[in-house]
Structure 1
Amino acid sequence: MDVGEEVSAVWPYPRPDSPPLLSPEQAEQTLDVWLLPKFSMLTLFCMLEPLRVANRFGRELFAWRLRSVDGEGVVASNGVCIEVDGRLADAPDDAHLMVVSSYEAEATVMAQDRAVLRRIAAHGGWLGGLDTAPFILARAGVLEGHRVAMHWESVPAFRREFPALRISRRRFSSDATRQTGAGGTTGIDMMLDRIARDYGPALADAVSRQLVHDRHDASSGADGGEGEDGDAIGEVTPSHYANLPRSVVKSLAVMEANLAKALPIPEICRLAGQSQRQLSRLFLAHFGETPKQCYLGMRLDRAQRLLSASHATVTEAALANGFSHLAHFSRAYRARFGEAPRETAARGPG
């Protein structure tokens, strides 16, 4: 049903009063949101605000219900506790359920929670996931046949554990029954995309203007799009690299492309077209680290993501990131994260 033009014609500006929070009985659509401990507050707010603003254009369109495993409040990554409306197990069979997680995505997820996701999928429900939530959906077996978008930091671990699933390089990926995305401000574009699909682009554009947000649809992305088959080509990199000197950007690209087999710093300098002395000066000015320290940190960060979000062993994580000596890897890992790699692995998905 495309009523975007009708809404825009009747309500060229949002009504001055923000409508009260709607109940599922009042709204045309209800979004259930499963919050995991240490979820991102930014991700949650960016997802809900477009729905709230859409309701200001004269119709009771959206309601939402926050859920947790036990129906109790959930503490976000910033330490703020958010009260919820009910338990995950009580979500209806035909639910539109979005999973929101961040750090330690599966530390509290049990088999019965994944069964809820499979139940909703089996009844034709709609499932989505933001930030690290695609790991939860994939382990429940509900992403087969769907492209998957996620935060760029999670791509290596996800690709290793689920090689058969297609990883999108876009900020988010949507189809009729699944929607996944990178988290953070991507939630705004995901919900604007949903509004455009269900109620027309005019309403989505109006909501975007109210949020003072430049809208990005599912066909665009900071990384430059996908291949024709929708598979990821390489890894997604942060868009703020564009503000760095060209030789620094080239160096970072070389480092990211060679995490599994570490290159000598002089070779990185040669490929970047910069002297080692000048490159060190630039890295210290922008990052407070030498190229060698930055490269080591990138490799350790990737190892940490593998250990926390996949079933990789400590040895596998070390070798996958260019560490041939486990003792050196363990010392460097503890210095960066304050714990041994085996401790991180112990908190992994299990």
Structure 2
Amino acid sequence: MSSESHEKFEFLLLDGFSNMVLASALEPLRDVKMRAMFASLDWEVTTLDGLTVTSSSKLKLSPDRRFDPDQTKGTLVIVAGYSVREQVNRELVSLIRVASRNARRVLALDTASWLLAEAGILDGHSATIHWQELDAFEEAFPNVDVSNARFVRSGPFMTCGGASTALEMVLELIQDTFGPAAAFDASSMFLFDPARQKDQQRGAAWLRDRGSPKLLNALNIIAENVEHPLTTFELAERVSLSERTLNRAFAQELGMTTGKYYKLYRLQHARYLAQETRLSTEQIALRCGFSCASALGRSFTKEFGRPISTFRS
């Protein structure tokens, strides 16, 4: 993704939406915005009437504005809940139809696929829905190729069921839009479990079918060696590759050299420590593999365009 590109996300919430589903889709984007070096994105929350919306657990959320399909751009994320069938009416279907034409892509979470199908825009497409609605969904919409997959991508539409599948779907979207490095960081943040990471394909292993095993192993080693960074040669030795081959793998799969990624990873960690802790800049520098605060400061300002002090909470 170009550093000049900007991704806009609109979350349309319907009454009865699941807090877990919303968080599973939104929080990885927040992580990307906070940590990814080459990602520019923003989001807003809308409701049909511009008023407070109530989740399935009775939590109330105030939107940024009223839903207006003429303002829909970028990625439209529709989050519906248990009462979606009762909420369907001619006006809503018309709004969804217009918004889907204006959007670059549409994500339907939980039961929101029902709305898209009612609007007729899933005809000829593959789609899924919350498992409790699968049979009724298939019976109601014979022109939709209904799948029981965890999530489905078909043309500009991405559909999924519950919270865990929403997270998986958004992580894949992050990889496609912002690159494997951003997806790796986000998946590590929300799926990290040291005891089960390897078996459950979590952290860097989440990218197993999207990146070479040697590269994924290198990403794990980098994450484990922030305070005392390895040289590129040492890292290559650890994964049984030549330094040249490792650099080529990083360039092809992450769009940057090994050294560039390693440095950015350490700077990302430094930014996190500046934002979330009271450590001094000198302490942060040492924890992130820099010889002193001034060395960190120079590198940080060069990459971020402003000093690390500006990220202090």
Interval of TM-score (by shorter of Structure 1 and Structure 2): 0.5 to 0.7
Matches of 1:47 and 1:27, distance apart in 2: 21
CA distance change for structure 1 residues 197 and 176 in 2, over 3 Å: closer, same or farther? farther
- Name 2:135's counterpart in structure 1: 156
Conserved 8 A contact 1:31-1:97: yes
**How far has the Cα of 1:172 moved from its partner?**
0.6
Matches of 2:40 and 2:147, distance apart in 1: 30
Aligned residue type for 1:137: L
**How far has the Cα of 1:124 moved from its partner?**
5.7
**How far has the Cα of 1:211 moved from its partner?**
1.6
Instruction: Map 1:128-147; keep pairs closer than 5 Å.
Output: 128-147=107-126
Aligned residue type for 1:58: M
Matches of 1:198 and 1:125, distance apart in 2: 12
Conserved 8 A contact 1:89-1:113: no
Q: Which runs of 5+ in 2 are unaligned?
A: 193-201, 211-313
Q: 1:211 aligns with which of 177, 185, 190?
A: 190
Q: Does 1:73 align with 2:52?
A: yes
Q: 1:192 aligns with which of 149, 163, 171?
A: 171
State how many pairs are aligned: 197
- Name 1:36's counterpart in structure 2: 14
Matches of 2:159 and 2:23, distance apart in 1: 16
Q: 1:50 aligns with which of 28, 32, 50?
A: 28
CA distance change for structure 1 residues 190 and 2 in 2, over 3 Å: closer, same or farther? farther
Matches of 2:177 and 2:125, distance apart in 1: 20
Aligned residue type for 1:53: D
Q: Which runs of 5+ in 1 are unaligned?
A: 4-25, 221-350
**How far has the Cα of 1:87 moved from its partner?**
1.3
CA distance change for structure 1 residues 122 and 210 in 2, over 3 Å: closer, same or farther? closer
**How far has the Cα of 1:110 moved from its partner?**
3.0
Matches of 2:69 and 2:155, distance apart in 1: 23
1:56-81 deviation per Cα after TM superposition (whole angstroms, max 9, x unaligned): 22345221111111000101010100
Conserved 8 A contact 1:2-1:198: no
Aligned residue type for 1:52: R
Higher relative contact order (CA 8 A, sep 6+): 1
Secondary structure at 1:98 match in 2: strand
Aligned residue type for 1:46: S
CA distance change for structure 1 residues 138 and 81 in 2, over 3 Å: closer, same or farther? same
**How far has the Cα of 1:106 moved from its partner?**
3.1
CA distance change for structure 1 residues 156 and 120 in 2, over 3 Å: closer, same or farther? same
Matches of 1:122 and 1:45, distance apart in 2: 26
Aligned residue type for 2:22: L
1:270-329 deviation per Cα after TM superposition (whole angstroms, max 9, x unaligned): xxxxxxxxxxxxxxxxxxxxxxxxxxxxxxxxxxxxxxxxxxxxxxxxxxxxxxxxxxxx
Conserved 8 A contact 1:117-1:142: no
Using the aligned pairs only, state the percent identity.
28
Matches of 2:112 and 2:72, distance apart in 1: 20
